[in-house]
Structure 1
C-alpha cells in the first residue's frame, strides 16, 4: 500500500457518487483503469494493516460506501462466475442498466 491509498480510494468513491444518475455509469471512471471496484479492493487491503481504532473508523466509512454502491448498482446476473468476481462482492455488481 502507498502512503495515501485510503485517501485516494475514498476520493474515487466520492467522485463516483457525485456523478448524475441512479446507477453508476460503467464508462465513467476516475481515470482509465481506476474503477471504483479497485478503490474498494484498496480499502479492503488497508483494513488488514490499520490499527484497531483506525480500522473501526474506516470501517464505518466503508459501510456507508458499500450501502451507496449497492444502492447504485444492480445485483449480478446469475450465471458463471468470472475471474473478476472471485474477489469481493463489489466486483459482481452491475454498474448500469
Structure 2
C-alpha cells in the first residue's frame, strides 16, 4: 500500500459525502484509481495489514461509510458480476 492510503481514502469519502442531494454524483469521465469505489478497495486492503486494535477502529469507520454509501447509491443490475471485487462496485451513482 502507498503511504497515507487510508487517510486519502477516508478523505475521498468525506468529500463525496459532502455532495448535496440524496444520491452521489457520478463522474462524467471516470478516473480509475480516484473513484470512491477505489478508495473502498484501498480500505479493504488496509484491513488485511493492520493489527487487531486498528482493524476494529477502521472497521467501525468502514461500517459507517458502507451504510452511507449504500444509502446514497442504487443497485446496478448490470454490474452483478463485479460483486467479486466488492459489493460497492455493484452500486450506481446518479449521472
Under a length normalisation based on structure 2, what TM-score does the superposition of the two structures give?
A: 0.88
2:63 is matched with: 63
* Contact 2:76–2:90 under 8 Å retained in 1: yes
C-alpha change, 1:27 and 1:80, in structure 2 (3 Å) is closer
Equivalent-residue separation in structure 1 for 2:4 and 2:15 (angstroms) = 16
More strand by share: 2
1:36 is matched with: 36
Offset, 1:85: 3.7
Equivalent-residue separation in structure 2 for 1:25 and 1:86 (angstroms) = 24
Offset, 1:57: 0.1
Matched, 1:94 2:92: yes
Offset, 1:96: 1.5
3-state SS in 2 of match to 1:70: helix
What is the alpha-carbon root mean square deviation over aligned residues?
Answer: 2.1
Gaps spanning 5+ residues in structure 2: where? none
Moved over 3 A (4+): 79-82
1:75 is matched with: 75
Offset, 1:80: 6.5
Gaps spanning 5+ residues in structure 1: where? none
Under a length normalisation based on structure 1, what TM-score does the superposition of the two structures give?
A: 0.87
More helix by share: 2
